Amino acid sequence: MYYRYKALIVDLDSKEFSVKELNKDLVRKTLGGCALGAALMYRLAPKTPDPLKENVVIMAPGALTGTPVPTASKTSFFTISPLTGGWLESVAGGSIGLELRSCGFEALVIKGKSEAPCIIRITDQNFSFEDSDWGSDALDAAEKLSKGGYSTACIGQAGENLVRFAGVECDGRQAGRGGLGAIFGSKNLKGIAIKSTGDIEPESPEVLERLVKKWYDALLQHSSYRDDTKYGSGEFLEWMNSERGTFPTKNWQLSVFENRKQIDPYYWAPKYSVKNNGCISCVKPCGKMFVIKEGKYSGTKIDGPEYETLYALGGNVFNGNIEALARANELCDRYGIDTISTGGTIAFAMELYERNIITKDDVGYELRFGDEDALLKTIEQIAIREGFGNLLAEGTARASEHLGAQRYAVHVKGMDPPAYDARGLKGMALAYATSPRGACHLRAGVYGIELTGKWWKYSDIDRYSTEKKGDMVATMEDLMSVYDTLGICKFSRHVYFAEGLPELVEAVTGIKYSVEELFAIGANANWMKKLINMRQGISKDSLPPRMFLDPIAEGPSKGARVTEEELSIMLKDYYRARGWSEEGEPSKEQINEVDDLTKEVFYG
Amino acid sequence: MGLIVVSHPEKCTHCRECELACSLHHEKKVNPKKSRIRVIRASYDLSVPSLCTHGYGCALECVDSCPMGAIEENNGFVGIDEELCDGCGACVDVCPFNAIRLFDGKAKKCDLCGGEPVCVSLCSQGALTFEEGKTVDKRVFNEIKKVVEERREDYVLQI
């Protein structure tokens, strides 16, 4: 039997564990990961004015995570974000999902707050709390916690210090976005360690074995395989600059980064990458093991930098030194903070500094674009909440309100955007606006479609046009939610598309779903995410002032911007495609359906 | 005969697809701890797949240790006769590659999947190859044994 229909509930207030039986119908209708997480959050998450005071953390492996389905490696964490105040899903590779599933659980639910820093340790059916120290960095903590063969999820100092964009380290990868690490910190939870000897029992093992080989071959034979693995997620960095001009630079004041030579993986991968690192079951490993052996940053070792980090700690802060960038990446990983928001927040502060809105008296040192020492220092100051870093640790949105500088703050719902300049990609602009966790490239993943003009069922897509974008973003949000529900990495979506998924779901879970039915599961999850945001008082889908007011300054997309009218047209189309009201509210029927689905998440 | 699965740690990316697929193939269930191959994280950038070398990198300690005479080497293939095995675990402790699992009362190890090893067929990086055991440099085996010894505690199956 594949599903065990059980969740482990951890109450940090009373220091008690309990095993609850999940509603079978709910599990079968949501499968796992994102959709199951949305349903549990819809029912279990409190309406909370302060996510750092009252909150819940839910962890759920993707439905296929823990099996050898190639790239089904993802485990999702769900909480109310301390950065946006709304729905947060934070997704990571690593093997902790496999271990949880082997223990016989579809989900882990963490409630309450421990009196003192602690560890949750799960060994098969033995559950215990351990005292923990505060103060170790995320990588050291992970190494210590993993002794004895455990998979881990843990925080560094930034999470302890409630930095609002602190992440969680998961076996060398990160659940980085949205401040999950701060929620761990607010619960006095240093980490989770899980080990199991239990079996995972796919419903049709022989069929699954055949499909694993089939999709392994498909992934390896795909024309993108060589460069995807050789250069990792940053492979198109040069093209994004020189051919598209949509590489946000200098806090989005520019969209082409002139000093990009070194941060292009075609330059650094051969020079610094010693080998690739793969998430569990990833036969297409994109992680680059990057080592600096000499010079000022000698000893730096990271898994990365990923494309988004090449922007966040490179172009966006105008840093063209790959070694300084790698060091900054390592600091973020060790302290346990999201590279994208770290870079976004610092870039924002650098712009204010150059505009004299803040000065050396405020910061304590010069904070100019391209100053690598200032970049590294500021990362530390944020992580330990010292000096001006204490303000930046609140995130771009809160810092901008404090300083009265909202005009230069680039974020959506409080979340700093990733490396796609949406002024030249209208669908991405819409996707940033509607993404339930705030500006994100992976909730809808439409950037590839717009940048190339075609993908899957889409063709002749004009990146500057608003046409068809509402429907496309809604559809793609649903597809990406299906990927997160199954735990399949989106870096292989050009191989599985949607049509490859049903046979895998059936072989593993025994449940026969058509492509359309899988899309319905994705859509349902997106209704719940929206409803959770509405419950939290977050209903406005908008964009930062810069996207409306400042056209792209130079390069291939020069002059492009998004007007408020364009966004409004696209939002209207999007809400219509979703069956929502003009204000973006799910219909009565949809709310009834969700209420019905989640009426009873546990038996008893 | 004499073909074995050879591990090339310098190419391993720690995806553990081999562990997942091995257990699925042999047990019809997924369980890395029951996999005949284990990938040992030795350090930041070194992951070491370890499995039975069928006598090429060792002194056939398992054969000598078995009180039941259940383990035999034959033309470069080491097999366990499950009928004879009484599950005492002596072989598990002496194997320098930590390549023998003990569960369901029996010792289990790599049987080369009847000549088409599933792990090799799913290793995207070429970190596992199917080669003549006698042509493999002994130093390769010695490096693996060293890591296995250091990290054995983390990788022993205890059910």
Q: What is the pLDDT of residue A61?
A: 98
Question: What is the predicted pLDDT for the residue at A94?
Answer: 87
The CA-atom distances, in angstroms, between A19 and each of A16, A108, A321, A563 are 10, 10, 51, 51
Q: How many residue contacts between A and B have a Cβ separation below 8 Å?
A: 99
What's the CA angle centered on A179, arms A173 and A185, to 5 degrees? 95
Helix-then-strand count for chain A, H and E: 26, 16
- Stretch A525-541: mean pLDDT: 97
Q: Is residue A79 part of a domain?
A: yes
**Dihedral (C-alpha) A371, A374, A376, A377: value to the nearest 10 degrees?**
170
Q: Is residue A119 part of a domain?
A: yes
User: Which of A172, A195, A218 represents a domain boundary (last residue)?
Assistant: A195
**Residue matched to tokens 């909480």:** A79
Q: Are residues A393 and A442 in the same domain?
A: no
Q: A558 and A524: one domain?
A: yes
For residue B159, pLDDT over 70 is answered with no
With respect to residue A202, please indicate whether it lies within any of the assigned structural domains.
no
Contact A67 B30 (CB under 8 A): yes
One domain for residues A493 and A597: yes
Considering the domain architecture, whether residues A128 and A156 belong to the same structural domain is answered as: yes
Q: Are residues A32 and A146 in the same domain?
A: yes
B41-45 long-range contacts, CB within 8 A, separation 24+: B41/B14, B41/B151, B42/B9, B42/B147, B42/B150, B42/B151, B44/A289, B44/A301, B45/A274, B45/A275, B45/A289, B45/A291, B45/A301
Binary contact (A275, B15; C-beta < 8 A): no
**Which residues in chain A have Cβ-Cβ distances shorter than 8 Å to B13?**
275-278, 282, 285, 287
Q: A479-482, long-range: CB within 8 Å, 24+ apart, which pairs?
A: A479/A445, A479/A519, A479/A522, A480/A442, A480/A443, A480/A444, A480/A445, A480/A522, A481/A34, A481/A35, A481/A443, A481/A521, A481/A522, A481/A523, A481/A525, A481/A526, A482/A518, A482/A519, A482/A521, A482/A522
The verdict on A164 and A249 lying in the same domain is: no
- The reply to whether A262 and A337 lie within a common domain is yes
Exposed / middle / buried, residue B60 (Cβ in 10 Å: 0-12, 13-18, 19+): middle
For A94, nearest residue in chain B (alpha carbons): B15
The residue of A147, A196, A200 whose CB has the most chain B CBs within 10 angstroms, and thus the best one to mutate to test that interface, is A200
CATH of the domain at A239: 1.10.569.10
In a domain, A327, yes or no: yes
Instruction: Quote the minimal CA–CA distance from A90 to chain B in Å.
Output: 21
Q: What is the pLDDT of residues A563-573, one digit of tens each?
A: 999 999 999 99
Residue A464 lies in a domain: yes
Does residue A590 belong to the interface with chain B, where contact is any CB pair within 8 Å? no
- B49: closest CA of chain A, how far (Å): 14
Q: Which residue range(s) make up the domain with A105?
A: 6-195
Q: Are residues A341 and A265 in the same domain?
A: yes
- For A232-260, the pLDDT digits (tens) are 999 999 999 999 999 999 999 999 999 99
> What's the pLDDT band for B155 if we cut at 50, 70, 90?
confident
Listed residue (A541, A530, A529) closest to A570, CA to CA = A541
For residue range B37-85, what is the model confidence (pLDDT) as tens digits?
999 999 888 999 999 999 999 999 999 999 999 999 999 999 999 999 9
Q: Would you say A269 and A230 are in contact if contact means Cβ atoms under 8 Å apart?
A: yes
In total, how many domains does chain A have? Answer: 3
Q: Based on the domain organization, do A233 and A374 belong to the same domain? A: yes
- Chain A residue whose CA is closest to B47: A277
Examine residue A411 and state whether it is found in any structural domain, yes or no. Answer: no
For A98-156, how does the pLDDT look when each residue is reduced to its tens digit (9 = 90+)? 999 999 999 999 999 999 999 999 999 999 999 999 999 999 999 999 999 999 999 99
Is residue A409 in some structural domain?
A: no
Nearest to A278 among B13, B29, B45 (CB): B13
Calculate the average pLDDT of chain B: 95
ipTM, two decimals: 0.97
Q: DSSP secondary-structure letter at B46?
A: E
Of B15, B32, B155, the CB nearest to A283: B15
Nearest by CB to B17, from A208, A274, A283: name it: A283
The pLDDT-based confidence of A359 (bands split at 50, 70, 90) is very high
User: End of a domain among A171, A195, A219?
Assistant: A195
Of A402, A430, A446, which residue is a domain's last?
A402
Question: What distance in Å separates the CA atoms of residue B35 and residue B19, rounded to the nearest whole number?
Answer: 5
Q: Same structural domain for residues A31 and A139?
A: yes
Tokens standing for residue A185: 């910190």
Within the 28-87 window of chain B, which residues sit less than 8 Å (CB to CB) from chain A?
28-34, 44-45
User: How do residues A43-52 score in pLDDT, each as one tens digit?
Assistant: 999 999 999 9
**pLDDT in the model for residue A127:** 98
Contact call for A281 and B20, based on CB within 8 A: yes
Domains of chain B (ranges, CATH numbers)? 3-154 (3.30.70.20)
Chain B CB contacts of A196 under 8 Å are: 33
Q: Is the model's pLDDT at A416 over the cut of 80?
A: yes
The fraction of chain B above a pLDDT of 90, given in percent, is: 91
Contact B27, B33 (CB under 8 A): no
C-alpha distance from B69 to closest chain A C-alpha (Å): 28
Contact between residue A199 and residue A126 where contact means Cβ atoms under 8 Å apart: no
Listed residue (A308, A244, A237) closest to A552, CA to CA: A244
Sign of the CA dihedral running A46, A51, A52, A58:
positive
**pLDDT at res. A471:** 98
Residue B14: is its pLDDT beyond 90? yes
| A426 in the same domain as A384 | no
**Residues in a beta bridge with A120:** A129, A192
- What per-residue confidence (pLDDT) applies to A522? 98
B152 inside 8 A of chain A by CB: no
Compare all CA atoms of chain B with the CA of A211 and give the residue at the minimum distance.
Answer: B21
CATH code at position A441: 1.10.599.10
The per-residue pLDDT for B43 is: 86
The residue-averaged pLDDT of B101-109 equals 96
Residues of B in contact with A291 (CB under 8 A): 45
Considering the domain boundaries, does residue A217 fall inside one? no
A99 and A142 co-located in one domain: yes
Residue ranges of A 287-346 with Cβ closer than 8 A to chain B:
287, 289, 291, 301
pLDDT at A378: 98
Q: Which residue from B21, B27, B124 is facing A68, i.e. has the nearest CB?
A: B21
Q: Do B24 and A67 touch (CB under 8 A)?
A: yes
Residue of A68, A149, A278 with shortest CB distance to B14: A278
The answer on pLDDT for A191 being more than 90 is: yes
